[in-house]
Chain A
Amino acid sequence: MDRTGQVCIEIRGVYKRYKSAQEDSLSDVSLDILQGDVFGLLGPNGAGKTTLISILCGIIPVSSGDVRFFNNGKAYSNAERKSRIGFVPQEYAFYQELTPRQNLDYFGAMYNLSKSKLEERREHLLEVLGLEKAADKKVGTFSGGMKRRVNLAIGIIHEPEILFLDEPTVGVDVQSRNAIIRYLQQINQSGTTIIYTSHHMSEAEEFCKNIALIDHGRVIAAGGLEHLKTAHAVPNLQTLFINLTGEAYRD
């Protein structure tokens, strides 16, 4: 049965204020993210995107509010969530001294994959992400694009139901970016829900079905991409972004 359209993440009235901070990093954020969606969390620097992704991934707690996860309408616990989500951070969060194969072996085991399943997934990902030839070379010697692909492979080794991507294509060439986006579209078509942040508006426009624009910790617009463009009478996402967040520099 096709469950696309059911809510898989429900965010209600989430506030986040870091210790010693004067202002909230997130303020009254409420969103529904649908199963099978490609959901873009967009906003200028310091808007609160990474904070929201960190909360959704369980890295930091909310100050107040509620986040709930569902699968086919059935809520599941935080502990269960860890097996079902994948996280691809903005940083190269892996071991540069190890090879892609060794990195995947380690992180795959941390996701509780069996040895045989891990080997199967590892070889599949190395192939589809074009890392096969470099699979036994140290990642530290790789180009930015290759490192991004290793970073992605680690986040999806366990075939997560929900994948969080924080700027997955930052600092990579067009070829690597296309390869990454193409593969993400593939896994989305096979049922993975993707929550993604980016500063590339054209990429987000091409990739996302629904978006939330966040600024100063608040959701300033959310919904279907086409619907938002029509409602704000703008030709593209970049114009919508500038219209809603302004042209002033952000630190």
Chain B
Amino acid sequence: MFKLFSSLRKELLLLINDKVGLALMFLMPLLLVFIITIIQDSAYKMVNENQIPLLVVNQDKGKEGEKLVGLLQKSGLFKIDSQNSIAQESLKSELLSRGKMIALYIPATFSAGLESNAEDVSGILMDDLGLEHDTTAREQISMPKLSFYNDPVLQENYSYSVMSVIQSYMSVIENSLMIDRMYANMDIAERSAKLKDRMISNRVGIDQIVASNNNSTAIPNSTQHNVPAWTIFAMFFMVVSLGSNIVKERVNGSFLRLKTMPTTFMVVMFSKMAIYVVVAALQVALTFSMGVWILPKLGLPKLSVPDNIIATIAVIFISSMAAVSYALMIGAFAKTEQQANGFGAISIIIFGAIGGILVPTFVMPGFMQFFSNFSPLHWCLEGFYVLFLKGGSWQDLRAVFAFLGIFIVFCQLGTYFKLRLERII
């Protein structure tokens, strides 16, 4: 017991003396969680809560352009800057110089084109119903096109979201015009208001329901996504501390010296694993505490801890074992500390990228989604998401435990055989 205690103490002392490793393991996750959560949360708010700055150039000669601007204004989603005197040719440069991210150009024929189209649609309906209407030949104006300008740095999905909003308001205007025209052709124009009101106010609503297995589970938000994700990332970054620690002991002969002593190498390895599993648990405690107590104070969503505490502890344990085992294997295979640090850190970034830490796996191309299955970070993240977002049960965690179990065995065997090859074990 004294031997084990001494070995644990030695590992702890080595860890305490590794200032860079400590900073990477404890400061980095806090900073990452803090920064990424704030960024993602503000991006989320920008779309959903904040008004989007929109430069509008309305050169429409009719009333519909004004109506569209009015609807956009009324929606409360946009902070509209109307600059009708700007020519379309100079809109790009104006957009960039005014610091606006998006602009909408309404052409001069906007109303005329819409009205012409409404007249055509109405004519078709009147013909089909066998009703008389004015068939006097009139000028055909093609359907107008709005021009949407966006700063090149604006993300594509953000632009698409704004265009979808504009499109939905356009539907309202087009439908309204068509109803007006049909009623006018039937000489009952004064009655159109009731139908228009009914059509506009009685649209199919969409209820958003979070597909979780537990009614009390948290609503997905930036905190709920980022705290587990970056905690896992930081856990695996222990490769820099533990990996180089093992390389040092291999290279300086400490391991060989131990081989001449009446002790088993299991004590050494067990001590390392135990200390670093505790480190991983502390990382989790630290970042989760930040999610629960600090982030809400900064106006960010509070981290909601899963109800199934035992399953959460099990996922934390198996994730930390996966991180420790990977670090041991890198330490066993690297020839120098630089190799362990460089390869270890880069491999974690790659595992993190393909594992869905940086961007969700579902937005990745099919082949990348396939490769994500080979990232231990993906399975750790999946384990946390099952608990934090889906309110999953032990059964939902089966694949997580199976894959991480295989990964741990693979790393441990790799470490064992490499150290055996070097005659350390």
- A39 at interface (Cβ–Cβ under 8 A)? no
CB distance from B248 to the nearest CB of A (A): 8
Kindly state whether residue A203 has any CB partner on chain B within 8 Å.
no
Category for how many chain A residues contact B: 20 to 34
Tell me if A142 is interfacial: C-beta within 8 Å of chain B.
Answer: no
Contact B6 A91 (CB under 8 A): no
Q: What residues of A have a CB within 8 angstroms of the CB of B269 in the complex?
A: none
B259 to chain A, nearest CB (A): 5
Segment of B202-210, B215-223, B249-257, B393-401 in the binding face = B249-257
Chain A proximity mask over B233-274: 1 for CB below 8 Å, otherwise 0: 000000000000000000011101111111100010000000
Secondary structure call for the B interface = helix
- Interface 9-residue window, one of A63-71, A108-116, A191-199, A231-239: A108-116
With A89-B253, A98-B17, A138-B17 known as contacts, the answer to whether A111 contacts B259 (CB < 8 A) is no
Measured between alpha carbons, how far is A60 from B260 in the docked complex, in Å?
10
A58 engages B14 (CB within 8 Å): no
Name the contact of B257 in the complex, choosing from A89, A96, A97, A112 (C-beta under 8 A): A89
What CA separation (Å) do A95 and B262 show in the bound complex?
19
Within the complex, what minimum Cβ distance (angstroms) separates A166 from chain B?
Answer: 10
Q: A97-B14, A98-B13 given as contacts; is B256 within 8 A of A59 (CB)?
A: yes
> Of A99-107, A207-215, A241-249, which stretch is located at the interface?
A99-107
A138 vs B257: C-alpha distance in the bound complex, in angstroms?
20
Counting from the closest, the 9 A-B pairs by CB-CB distance are: A109-B6, A93-B253, A91-B253, A97-B17, A82-B262, A87-B260, A93-B257, A106-B10, A57-B260
Could you show 30 A-B contacts with beta carbons less than 8 Å apart? Answer: A57-B259, A57-B260, A58-B260, A59-B256, A59-B260, A59-B423, A82-B260, A83-B262, A87-B257, A89-B257, A92-B252, A93-B252, A93-B257, A94-B252, A95-B10, A95-B14, A98-B10, A98-B13, A102-B10, A108-B6, A109-B6, A109-B7, A110-B7, A110-B262, A110-B267, A111-B263, A112-B3, A112-B262, A114-B2, A138-B17
| A interface list, Cβ under 8 A from B | 57-60, 79, 82-83, 85, 87, 89, 91-98, 102, 105-112, 114-115, 138, 154
